[in-house]
Amino acid sequence: MEYGTIEREIYIDAPPEIVFEVVSSPGHLKEWWPDDAAYDTVPGSPGEIVFGDRDADGTVVGFTVVDARPPESFSFRWTHPVGEVAAPGNSLLVTFDLAPKGQGTLLRMTETGFREMGWEIAVLEEQYREHNTGWDFYLPRLAPYVARLESSR
C-alpha cells in the first residue's frame, strides 16, 4: 500500500492547551472546517462531520478520533462512510502534533492516506466550501503524488 502525505507546520502565539482545544473540540472544529461536527474525543468512538446542510443536500462523512493526548497530540480519521469503521483504505488520517515553542506552540499537521482514496471526497468538499477555485481543494491532495511523479522523471 502506498501513502501520500501532506505536511504542514505553523507557529501559533498561544499555549498548547488552547491550541489543543481548537484542533480537537467539535465546537471549534466547526469554526475552522466543516459546517457541523458531532463526535466524542474518545479514541474509536464513531462520529461525523457535515459539509453543507445536513437536511438538504449536504454531505455527511465519518469522523473518528484515533488518539487524543492533551495537549501534545490529536489524531483522527475522516472521509469513511458514516457507519463504517475507520481504517486505512477507507479514510484519511490526520495528526496534529503540538510542541511548546517560546511563548506559543508549534503545530505540525500531517494527512496521510490519499493514495488509497477515491476522488469523491475532493469533489464533495469542493462543492460546499468557499474556495476561490476548485483547485484549492484538489491540488493539495495531488501534491504528494505529483511531487513523486516529478522526482521520478
Find the binder of another protein among 42, 85, 99, 139 (CB under 8 A). Answer: 139
**Taking the complex as a whole, how short is the minimal distance between the CB of residue 52 and another protein, in angstroms?**
14
**Taking the complex as a whole, how short is the minimal distance between the CB of residue 119 and another protein, in angstroms?**
4
**Residues 126, 138 contacting (CB under 8 angstroms):** yes
**Taking the complex as a whole, how short is the minimal distance between the CB of residue 64 and another protein, in angstroms?**
19
Q: Using the rule CB under 8 A, is 107 a contact of another protein? A: yes
Q: Using the rule CB under 8 A, is 106 a contact of another protein? A: no
As a whole number of angstroms, the distance between CA 110 and CA 97 comes to 9
Backbone angles phi, psi at 84, to 5 degrees: -85, 150
**Please, which residues bridge with residue 109 across strands?**
8, 96
Q: Using the rule CB under 8 A, is 150 a contact of another protein? A: yes
| DSSP secondary structure letters along 24-82 | H-HHHHHHHS-SEEE--SSTT-EEEEEES-TTTT-EEEEEEEEEEETTTEEEEEESSPT
Q: Using the rule CB under 8 A, is 37 a contact of another protein? A: no
As a whole number of angstroms, the distance between CA 147 and CA 72 comes to 30
Interface with another protein in residues 6-25 (CB under 8 A) = 6, 8, 10, 12-15, 18-19, 21-23
Residues forming the site for another protein (CB under 8 A)? 6, 8, 10, 12-15, 18-19, 21-23, 28, 31-33, 105, 107, 109, 111, 115-120, 122-123, 125-127, 129, 131-140, 142-143, 145-147, 149-150, 152-153
